[in-house]
């Protein structure tokens, strides 16, 4: 009896945990991202070479950093789901995928808008740019593979394998600027020695990365709840929740 009940109790608990965390992530994320963006756009000094165009860094870098972190998180979730057969882990994986795809898309678009005035081209088949585009396709692959299966446990397994295989792209993205002759410059903050930026430019950048992470976290919590609701839509606790939300 307990063994039969256990998995259902777990998803219900996860749902309520998400519900409790959601307002914190949403509110904090919104405040931090707005403050950081305003700081970066209007208060940080301009760059000696790129003048005001460098301000694109305050969306480009956070989205690029988040794209890699979200992919790692998604692959880890897929791995846990595959090895320990945890149902909620696959749900987390598929909740993360669209968020990752969106931030990867943003990083590519902002990169193009930055490259046009500075480098002189919207797009170049450069190692860094190409590997980031491959990351976007990997996110698409995971999402569409998951959708291709009717049985969601099987879908999770297939998408999980793809997510894990794609992890090989992450070090390629990171080291592409060192391994190849790229148009893209080297890392500014993600290196072991001192970042190549003074504090008054660095602080809004770090803050905006935090803001993007919090907002992604909030969206993840929402999507995780949605996955749970979709999977457990016949459980009494879900029906009770639906009735409650209808009344509000």
From the CB of 135, what's the least distance to other proteins, in Å?
A: 10
Query: How many whole angstroms separate alpha carbon 240 and alpha carbon 248?
Result: 13
Instruction: Give residues 213-232 in contact with other proteins (rule: CB under 8 A).
Output: 215, 218-219, 222-223, 225-226, 229-230
From 6-14, 74-82, 86-94, 133-141, give the range in contact with other proteins by CB under 8 A.
133-141
Which residue is it, tokens 């990083």?
107
Query: How many whole angstroms separate alpha carbon 194 and alpha carbon 183?
Result: 22
User: Cβ–Cβ contacts within 10 Å for residue 242, how many?
Assistant: 12
Q: Could you tell me which residues come within 8 angstroms of residue 127 by beta carbon, excluding any fewer than 6 positions away?
A: 172, 176, 177, 179, 180, 182, 184
Based on the shown chain and the rule CB under 8 A, indicate whether residue 185 belongs to the binding site for other proteins. yes
Out of 50, 87, 175, 203, point to the residue binding other proteins (CB under 8 A). Answer: 50
Out of 35, 80, 86, 118, point to the residue binding other proteins (CB under 8 A). Answer: 118
Instruction: Give residues 57-116 in contact with other proteins (rule: CB under 8 A).
Output: 57, 59-60, 63, 98-99, 102-103, 105-106, 109-110, 113-114, 116
From the CB of 105, what's the least distance to other proteins, in Å?
A: 6
Out of 56, 75, 92, 209, point to the residue binding other proteins (CB under 8 A). Answer: 56
Q: Which is nearer to other proteins, 1 or 54 (CB)?
A: 54
| Sign of CA pseudo-dihedral 220, 222, 223, 224 | positive
Instruction: Give residues 188-207 in contact with other proteins (rule: CB under 8 A).
Output: 188, 196-198, 200-201
Q: Which is nearer to other proteins, 7 or 137 (CB)?
A: 137
């Amino acid at each position: 009896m307990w063994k039969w009940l256990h998995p259902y109790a777990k998803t219900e608990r996860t749902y309520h945990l998400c519900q409790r965390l959601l307002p914190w992530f949403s509110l904090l994320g919104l405040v931090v991202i707005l403050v950081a963006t305003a700081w970066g756009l209007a208060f940080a000094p301009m760059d000696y070479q790129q003048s005001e165009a460098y301000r694109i860094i305050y969306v480009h870098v956070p989205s690029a950093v988040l794209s890699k972190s979200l992919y790692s998180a998604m692959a880890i979730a897929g791995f846990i789901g595959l090895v320990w057969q945890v149902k909620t882990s696959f749900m987390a994986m598929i909740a993360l995928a669209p968020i990752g795809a969106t931030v990867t898309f943003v990083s590519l678009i902002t990169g193009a808008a930055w490259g046009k005035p500075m480098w002189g081209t919207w797009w170049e088949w450069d190692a860094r740019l190409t590997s980031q585009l491959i990351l976007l396709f990997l996110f698409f692959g995971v999402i569409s593979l998951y959708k291709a299966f009717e049985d969601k446990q099987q879908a999770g397994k297939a998408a999980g394998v793809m997510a894990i295989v794609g992890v090989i792209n992450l070090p390629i993205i990171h080291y592409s600027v060192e391994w190849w002759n790229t148009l893209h410059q080297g890392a500014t903050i993600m290196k072991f020695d001192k970042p190549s930026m003074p504090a008054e430019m660095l602080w809004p950048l770090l803050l905006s990365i935090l803001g993007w992470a919090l907002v992604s976290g909030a969206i993840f919590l929402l999507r995780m709840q949605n996955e749970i609701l979709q999977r457990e839509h016949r459980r009494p606790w879900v029906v009770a929740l639906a009735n409650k939300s209808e009344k509000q």
